[in-house]
Amino acid sequence: MVIMRGSMDDDAGFSDALHDARTRPVDRPAGHRKYTRTQRRMYSGRHLRCRLRQTSWPAGAMHGILMVVPFLSLYPLMKRWTWWPQAWLGLTLNWGAWIIWYALKDHAEGSGMQSFFAGLVSWTIFYDTIYACQDRKDDVKAGVKSTALLFGTWVRPILSCFALVFLASLVYAGFCNGKGLPFYLVSCGGALAHIGWQLATWDPNDPKDCGAKFKSNGDMGYVIWGGLLLDFYLNPTYVA
């Protein structure tokens, strides 16, 4: 998943710097102006080679890896075709959840994975819309689209709905997989508190605050992981 996300960020950063006249992508490796196009492609090629080394995975996981290629390839263009590039990003980034699942298990029935995947996509829409609010002026000038522009003044209440979908999917996935109290208290409770803090303090008109809130979602990931780890040691029952 890390390799897949890195590869996609390479393509997106390169596309943003080349076509969208954005200023922030030039600070990223794939979008930095001191690198030539050839050097950028070589950088992206390293990610591709790493992905190809994963061919020893089970058949179900390999099918998932092949299916993600169109998502990765088309993502940089979605902001020119649709107001919902964040939704496509959600499908692309979180497709790895299916890949990892089928690398470990041969079925998804009863696991809550379908609902959890929808929740992950909703979470991506949540945090990437916050991120996109930094670029609203640049996006208007470049003629590209985003949910940050689409939602307008309704961005906070709409993102609250996506956050609720994510939180509900987290609880349901825990229920389907026999998680115990540590998961619900730390992972679900911590995620609820963190998202509540984000929505209560976020200023969508302040680019610096948008960037800070976006990055804070990585910290929330540690909270969720911590609850899973604690639950694993205190409640080792595994259902799915």
pLDDT value, residue 209: 97
pLDDT for 177 equals: 87
* Cβ contact 127:214 at 8 Å: yes
Q: Of the candidates 182, 191, 183, 176, which has an alpha carbon nearest to the alpha carbon of residue 221?
A: 191
Q: Which long-range contacts (CB under 8 A, 24 or more apart) does 206-212 make?
A: 207/133, 207/134, 210/130, 210/131, 210/133, 210/134, 211/131, 211/134
Asked if 1 contacts 94 with a C-beta cutoff of 8 angstroms, the reply is no
C-alpha span between 221 and 75 (Å, rounded): 23
Q: Which residues of the chain have pLDDT under 70?
A: 1-67, 106-110, 236-240
pLDDT at 70: 78
Asked if CATH classification 3.40.50 holds for the domain at 109-234, the reply, yes or no, is no
Give 55-112 pLDDT, tens digit per residue: 555 555 556 566 677 777 888 889 899 999 999 999 999 988 877 777 777 666 667 8
Kindly give the residue spans of alpha helices, DSSP state H, lying in the chain.
2-15, 37-52, 59-81, 85-104, 113-132, 136-142, 147-151, 155-176, 181-182, 189-201, 207-234
Residue 97: its pLDDT value, please? 81
What does the alpha-carbon distance between residue 127 and residue 41 come to, in Å, rounded to a whole number? Answer: 28
- DSSP 3-state of 46: helix
DSSP letter (8 states) at residue 34:
T
Q: In 3D, which of 67, 69, 87 has the Cα closest to residue 78? A: 87
CA distance 60 to 103: 7
